[in-house]
């Protein structure tokens, strides 16, 4: 399976490299949001930190990933409609390799977009006292989050009737950080909103990354974040594989 997955992964990555606007587009919106909130709204937002970009960056990274995984659904839908998927099915390829190639492509392309966003954040004044271990832990959490959302993206990619339908799922995911601790502390929110914000996955993931990169004290948020990532990934992987078997045999 590994060799077949590698060949399929290479095909998808070559397509991306020929048209790098995918990665650029994914990075532009989060960067624009970061610029807007830091330089326009940042002075009016009280977060208890002396550097708002430090507070903001984890949520922006999750927004970039949520935007980036929509291209997995886009590419998968395109393969199905073009008949390429049907050709792959008739070839001596383990069928799970086809989906894993799309998932790994998402992991690589989103990693590049995240690095671009982090680079811009450093230019804007982002400061981190994190060591190698903390950066590796952050990369691990972001990688798990990417995998979880990518397996979710596989489902509309397989079942959608139109290109718009294949990518529409990502819009709620992109805006979910707004109702979390990504932009402001949850304590400032009305009670009903605060209850939702404190018990949805983005808040624990944002808090864990923020603690690793900036605050230095990692509490239970990291375990909650890992539980959310693994839980979502397990459920969406199972659902995607079932849909794949039903849709394409």
CB-neighbour burial class of residue 72 (10 A; exposed 0-12, middle 13-18, buried 19+): buried
H-helix or E-strand containing 130?
none
pLDDT digits (tens, 9 = 90+) for 43-66: 777 777 778 899 999 999 999 999
pLDDT digits (tens, 9 = 90+) for 23-43: 677 788 889 989 998 888 777
Distance (Å) of CA 140 to CA 30, 214, 230: 20, 17, 12
According to the model, what pLDDT value does residue 1 have?
Answer: 46
pLDDT digits (tens, 9 = 90+) for 68-89: 898 888 888 887 887 767 676 6
pLDDT digits (tens, 9 = 90+) for 126-176: 988 888 999 999 999 999 999 999 999 999 988 888 888 888 888 888 889
Round to whole Å and give the CA distance between 99 and 244. Answer: 9
According to the model, what pLDDT value does residue 65 have?
Answer: 94
pLDDT digits (tens, 9 = 90+) for 86-118: 676 666 667 677 788 888 888 988 998 999 999
According to the model, what pLDDT value does residue 19 have?
Answer: 65
Opening angle at CA 155, ends 150 and 157, nearest 5:
85
Opening angle at CA 52, ends 51 and 58, nearest 5:
115
According to the model, what pLDDT value does residue 160 have?
Answer: 85
H-helix or E-strand containing 213?
none
CB-neighbour burial class of residue 112 (10 A; exposed 0-12, middle 13-18, buried 19+): middle
The ranges assigned to domains in the chain are: 2-248
Q: Give the number of residues written for the chain.
A: 249
Contact 176, 169 (CB under 8 A): no
């Amino acid at each position: 399976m590994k060799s077949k997955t590698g060949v399929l992964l290479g095909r998808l990555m070559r397509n991306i490299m020929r048209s790098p606007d995918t990665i650029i587009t994914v990075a532009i919106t989060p960067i624009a949001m970061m610029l807007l909130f830091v330089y326009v709204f940042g002075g009016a937002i009280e977060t208890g930190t002396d550097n708002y970009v430090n507070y903001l960056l984890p949520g922006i990274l999750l927004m970039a990933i949520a935007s980036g995984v929509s291209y997995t659904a886009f590419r998968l839908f395109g393969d199905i409609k073009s008949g390429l998927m049907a050709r792959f099915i008739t070839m001596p390829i383990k069928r799970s390799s086809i989906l894993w190639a799309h998932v790994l492509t998402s992991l690589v392309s989103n990693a590049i977009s995240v690095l671009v966003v982090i680079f811009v954040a450093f230019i804007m004044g982002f400061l981190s006292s994190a060591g190698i271990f903390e950066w590796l832990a952050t990369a691990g959490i972001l990688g798990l989050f990417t995998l979880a959302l990518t397996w979710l993206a596989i489902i509309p990619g397989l079942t959608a009737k139109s290109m718009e339908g294949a990518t529409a799922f990502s819009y709620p995911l992109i805006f979910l950080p707004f109702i979390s601790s990504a932009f402001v502390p949850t304590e400032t929110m009305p009670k009903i909103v605060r209850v939702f914000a404190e018990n949805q996955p983005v808040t624990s993931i944002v808090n864990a990354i923020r603690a690793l990169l900036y605050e230095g004290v990692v509490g239970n948020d990291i375990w909650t974040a890992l539980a959310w990532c693994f839980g979502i990934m397990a459920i969406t992987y199972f659902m995607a594989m079932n849909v794949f078997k039903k849709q394409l045999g």
